[in-house]
Structure 1
């Protein structure tokens, strides 16, 4: 194994060359992104309007692209260019961070000098200083956009009043409503980036889709506030001026008011169900109503026309490609080898995977069991390690809802099922990790929040045993409600591992049982292992786009958009242009939008399907797999609870424990309830905690 790792590692010369190329690519990406932001900053100014009008008239208003050419060039291409080039950047980074380079040579001085300090902001939760600064700057951008657009439109108030026959204040009210919609459009342009799971844009900034969900939530609330205000002001204006008929107007070559009202209505239904109480207690309602975003976007495009919709297309385009690739992956049934049933309604599912599927610690998957629900997909953290377990993938599932309860009952019954059809989307996770760069790791978990830390501990096992490399000291602080939950500690070592694997590095475990004051008289039940019969229709989980997934994703992004531009150019030149001649006053906006959306879907489907099929792996023979299962069947895991110091009847004094750490660099990771995350964040934000580097691994939706 060692010689293979060395062979695959790049030489020092190629290593340096790759670093230079990546730095050049990153500089180019940042320059393009800065230019993209400047476009949004200048959008509401008179100078930009004049420049954009000249660009449209002199260079892009062709018979192939029409008036939408300028919008594509200025608003759409920069972000898609960033996404494609970003794929190359991440592919080179994947080559650079081979096992021998990333794990062995991860030095302490590689920690960023400007480490984020956590802060607890009401309404925002735990945020870093950088996140708070970016949030404030985005709000400032919205205020700037509102004021500049309002100033621009107010300058034409008198002419508008004469044209419409309205009073000055009535025209101003109408303009305020219009500007609120324009500013809401700015938020909509960014709202899909955080929820695109396989995208190169968020990793460029060191973010993951799971960790960026809060940005999507912030943008969603701001967007709906602005769009709701836009709709209310417009309706009030129509009532005051007695233009009731405009509420039912669907203009053929202008703004379609009915489409806008329908879009807002679907958005409001979606928005209401995102309330934390509804999302927690009625997750299925929240889940299903979130699909209303399709109708929301559809009628939004009908409302404004395809030309204006190009301003928000990049994020939605990347999301559409990601969603279609996940759909293709989900059509395959994944081979479920075994399940470990723990006391107190906890499961560990063990899937088969191909060895070329690699993922980083703390990654997650989305799981679907058709026998429970054909539509529901639930996220779970991967507890296994792709280096330590090259042909296995494990997840931990705790009974915390109706879906998980049904799954637990199926597997824990006296006569459990002997086969289970399962589909998976993922894995999704950070492009790289930096946990091993600290002198010490303090991992704080609550309940099933221990799952991501199991994957980290297994990574440390691999580093210390296979690579023979020194690892960070580890302190695992885990809080459980009942002593039966302590059986989760039996999952620290893989199903084929032994307790001795944990002795190769410094690991200290402090467990707290909060709702019991003393150890139980009866010994907890030993975990039960269920083995499933193999099925020829099931296949090991494999990478959707193969080992060079970033390059394939970049190829799909670029080729699909080029195909779309070709289709759209031919359609415009030989069908729309002969009718409209770029006047935008004859050909129906709605029909043009429908045709363009259809072309987008066709282009994405063609490119993504080709990329997926070309990377589809051949399934291993059933005989080989059955033999592997039979060999694994002989190896049962042993209880590892004796490794932990168990405390009953109280909670850990997290502030004291953290502030007592004297190591120069201490990585503090927390995954658990909100109160626990806030307590750890408050301790790490203390002026006495300069050596603490905080990171929250929250997977709450």
Structure 2
């Protein structure tokens, strides 16, 4: 077996480098968690943090230097090292030589919780969830202990307050501190290209449910935080804080607050509209909370599913909420939640850059079951794993709506094309179906894309058998998997035996099976693939005439400005992403260092009592955004120029084809075809259709005698839960479960 070389390094050396990087990441992560564990204690605030301030504070960074060092730097360093580790993965593909020890990690994907508010939860997800809940409980209990132990009647009376009022003040502060902990993790699940999620074997699609629940928790805590303070201010007569003006010598005056007595020579300060020059700004916190509440209400399932665009519009208020949160607590304390938001900001801006390109749509295939296959031109250097996700936008239907779809094509079988399948089920997809199925279909579609986003690399070769269970349009992730296995089988590699259990409502839906092969067919021999298809039609007891209708194929005219689908950061995207994260952070540190050293420090001298908090926070936030824009834009432009140069070289060396040049008018056609190639006939020979009944999944899965069976399910929630329950049973130790879910 040949060893893969990178700059003269053998495969084993690259593997050892990966292990070293992962161990380093683990050490940094444990240190970061230790900071969170110690933060609610007096040891941290009275001993650790002052010592860190002495060493980290300087004329360049001030007090925020310590917060950047202990909260922001570790996670960004983990993300950068993770990008390097993921980049090396493509040179260490030893899926066929996995040891039994490596296979033990597969059990971490096994379901452990089947039903509940979080749906199906794997051991990996449960481990992360338990660690977070333990940290949350510990933080609450430690804060309560530290805050309440010194509250007595004597201490309360000295402040002119009752004991319960002092405790309420402490509880309000506690809720804000714990809410900030949850806010620190809020953006990790929705960072689609996150190296941190990828390192632990998770994807944004599978963890978006945690973003939802974290959002509920954050806004619950922050709302309670605000209400407690309002009650406290109202009860202690601080809602309208009265200042009595006392004359002193030399015509000077002293402001003395009186909470319960009003004086004639006094003025009032509305506490809820207080915007302090130094310290906490109440008004900014209220704006942040109100914008968060608007997002919270419109993100509820009842509102989101019926008024999606309202949900989409209002969810952009996260920009307002985060900005005013920073103005509320100051930039130094905001560094605690900065890492997750920083990575999300980079990911979001890269998505914006990619979405500005118009993508070349080559053809479409419209099935009798109202499913549509869209075939895009693709950069040959773009690689992705089976069951990847791509988001698309069509301005002719909706300028703002982005919808995720599974990529059904395969890198090896379709090197120049990328395909997705859309089932006409909602208003958006129905409008697209009408455009493509009308007697005079549209000439072209103006499409933008984000992605594709690949799941963690899953080696299907480590299983002796694969059971693919799908419901309706849930078959789409399995199309790319089957195409991948067709290619591997044609290269004489040993592939697992495959059983596809496809459940449909109507007979017309059986035409979804035609999508198992590309529109142009394939030259790869599928005779080496051990494939069996069991199709179940639940509502029709006999074949209907709809299933006998012909497939409609449409070639579309591309525009000169259309481009193939390509990776936003080129073929070495993980390496470039690590460079963007590190370079943008360095630029950010340089900008705030120069600002503080030459502008703020001469005024403030690190006293934090002269220069306004709001101005400093606003400038630092602008610098953060500018740093991300500079680094990401330069990386994007460099890779875009490289892609265009490579495309021109390919076009110069190859003869013109419909894929590489505009399609002439004579090539565009709208015909109905019936795919009856040898390959399709081979598929029909291995397909058995059962009408009027559902599959007995318990029987199908338990009959497999192989010692290592991979069970993949994609379909309704009930189907996923049933299969997960069977696979987690003590009687089915040979079944390894994995699901695809796009419902949230």
TM range, smaller chain:
over 0.9
What corresponds to 1:504 in structure 2? 528
Per-residue Cα deviation, 1:665-697 (whole angstroms, up to 9, x for no partner): 111111111111111111111111111111111
Bigger Cα displacement from structure 2, 607-616 vs 513-522: 513-522
What corresponds to 1:18 in structure 2? 14
Change in CA separation of 1:518 and 1:107 when aligned onto 2, cut-off 3 Å? farther
What corresponds to 1:587 in structure 2? 611
Change in CA separation of 1:651 and 1:148 when aligned onto 2, cut-off 3 Å? same
What corresponds to 2:687 in structure 1? 644
Q: Secondary structure at the match of 2:561?
A: coil
Change in CA separation of 1:14 and 1:254 when aligned onto 2, cut-off 3 Å? same
Change in CA separation of 1:273 and 1:654 when aligned onto 2, cut-off 3 Å? farther
What corresponds to 2:658 in structure 1? 626
What corresponds to 1:440 in structure 2? 465
Aligned ranges 1:553-592 → 2 under 5 Å? 553-592=577-616
Aligned ranges 1:511-550 → 2 under 5 Å? 511-521=535-545, 523-550=547-574
Alpha-carbon distance between aligned partners in 1 of 2:197 and 2:236, rounded to the nearest angstrom: 46
What corresponds to 1:67 in structure 2? 63
Cα offset for 1:274? 2.7
Cα offset for 1:624? 2.5
CA RMSD of aligned residues (A): 2.4
Aligned ranges 1:172-191 → 2 under 5 Å? 172-191=167-186
Alpha-carbon distance between aligned partners in 1 of 2:521 and 2:632, rounded to the nearest angstrom: 39
Q: Secondary structure at the match of 1:194?
A: coil
What corresponds to 1:199 in structure 2? 194
Cα offset for 1:128? 2.1
Q: Secondary structure at the match of 1:217?
A: helix
Bigger Cα displacement from structure 2, 47-56 vs 535-544: 47-56
Q: Secondary structure at the match of 2:205?
A: coil
Bigger Cα displacement from structure 2, 514-523 vs 430-439: 514-523
Cα offset for 1:105? 4.2
Alpha-carbon distance between aligned partners in 2 of 1:125 and 1:135, rounded to the nearest angstrom: 13
Asked if 1:148 corresponds to 2:115, the answer is no
CA contact under 8 A between 2:192 and 2:204: conserved in structure 1? yes
TM-score normalized with structure 2 length: 0.89
CA contact under 8 A between 1:196 and 1:318: conserved in structure 2? yes
Per-residue Cα deviation, 1:327-371 (whole angstroms, up to 9, x for no partner): 111111111000001113210000001110000001111101111
**Number of corresponding residues:** 692
Asked if 1:112 corresponds to 2:104, the answer is yes
Out of 327, 348, 371, which is 1:302 matched to?
A: 327
Per-residue Cα deviation, 1:119-171 (whole angstroms, up to 9, x for no partner): 21421211124433432332121111011112222245358735642212101
Asked if 1:278 corresponds to 2:303, the answer is yes
Alpha-carbon distance between aligned partners in 2 of 1:234 and 1:408, rounded to the nearest angstrom: 54
What corresponds to 2:245 in structure 1? none
What corresponds to 1:238 in structure 2? 233
Per-residue Cα deviation, 1:83-109 (whole angstroms, up to 9, x for no partner): 111111111112212xxx44x546777
Aligned ranges 1:142-541 → 2 under 5 Å? 142-157=136-151, 161=156, 164-244=159-239, 245-465=270-490, 467-498=491-522, 501-521=525-545, 523-541=547-565
What corresponds to 2:243 in structure 1? none
Alpha-carbon distance between aligned partners in 1 of 2:4 and 2:357, rounded to the nearest angstrom: 31
CA contact under 8 A between 1:498 and 1:637: conserved in structure 2? no
TM-score normalized with structure 1 length: 0.94
Alpha-carbon distance between aligned partners in 2 of 1:293 and 1:66, rounded to the nearest angstrom: 28
CA contact under 8 A between 1:106 and 1:436: conserved in structure 2? no
Alpha-carbon distance between aligned partners in 1 of 2:2 and 2:553, rounded to the nearest angstrom: 37
Change in CA separation of 1:137 and 1:109 when aligned onto 2, cut-off 3 Å? closer
Bigger Cα displacement from structure 2, 493-502 vs 193-202: 493-502
What corresponds to 2:263 in structure 1? none
CA contact under 8 A between 2:507 and 2:547: conserved in structure 1? no
Alpha-carbon distance between aligned partners in 1 of 2:58 and 2:40, rounded to the nearest angstrom: 25
Alpha-carbon distance between aligned partners in 2 of 1:569 and 1:11, rounded to the nearest angstrom: 37
Change in CA separation of 1:501 and 1:166 when aligned onto 2, cut-off 3 Å? farther
Bigger Cα displacement from structure 2, 26-35 vs 534-543: 534-543
CA contact under 8 A between 1:160 and 1:171: conserved in structure 2? no
Cα offset for 1:300? 1.0
Q: Secondary structure at the match of 1:545?
A: coil
CA contact under 8 A between 2:369 and 2:511: conserved in structure 1? no
Cα offset for 1:190? 1.1
Alpha-carbon distance between aligned partners in 2 of 1:237 and 1:668, rounded to the nearest angstrom: 56
Per-residue Cα deviation, 1:601-636 (whole angstroms, up to 9, x for no partner): 111111111111111121555982437679999998
Out of 90, 93, 98, which is 2:89 matched to?
A: 93
Cα offset for 1:311? 0.3
Q: Secondary structure at the match of 1:33?
A: helix
Cα offset for 1:498? 4.9
Q: Secondary structure at the match of 2:107?
A: coil
